[in-house]
Amino acid sequence: MDCLPDFGEKIVCSLLIETREAVQNIDAIFAVDGIDNSIVAPFDLSTSLCVSGQFDPPNFLEVVGAIEAAAKAKSVPLDAGPANIQAEIDNLFSRGYRLTGGFDVLQIRRVVAELVGNFRLIPVRLRCSSYPSKGTG
C-alpha cells in the first residue's frame, strides 16, 4: 500500500470543546502535541452548563473566554460554529477565531422567518366581490 507512508501527513486533529469537564481540563488538553485546531461547540457546551441554547449567560461567556485564553496561550487555532450572520462572523474573527461554520437548519430557519415577516407586511385587500361569480364568466 503506497498510500500508507503519506497518510499520517494528511490527518487533521480537530478537537470539539463541548463539555464543562473539557473546559476544566483545557490547559492539559491544549498541551497535547499535534492538535491542528479546536472547535468551540456552543450548543453542547451551553447544555453542559445548564443554559442550553443560550449564548449570553455570564457562566457561558466566562467559559468561552477561558477556552479562548487557553487556545491563545498554547497557540492552538480556534474555530467556531455556528455563525450565521456577518456580525457574528466578524465578532468571532475579532476574537481570534480562524474558521467559522453554520448550521443549515439555522440558516433555513432564519430565511423562513424573514419570509414570513415579509408576508405579514403585505397589505391584504382581497374582497369576495372582486372575484367573478359563477356563471358571470
pLDDT, tens digit (0-9, with 9 covering 90-100), for 57-98: 999 999 999 999 999 999 999 998 788 778 988 999 999 999
DSSP secondary structure letter of residue 65: H
For cell 470543546, name the residue.
17
How many Cβ atoms from other residues are within 10 Å of residue 63's Cβ? 22
Report all structural domains of the chain as residue ranges with CATH numbers, in order of start: 4-122 (3.20.20.60)
pLDDT, tens digit (0-9, with 9 covering 90-100), for 36-50: 999 999 999 999 999
Rounded CA-CA distance 121/19 in Å is 43
Give which of 61, 13, 66, 67 is closest to 40, Cα–Cα: 67
| Residue 87, C-beta contacts closer than 8 angstroms, at least 6 positions apart | none
| pTM above threshold 0.75 | no
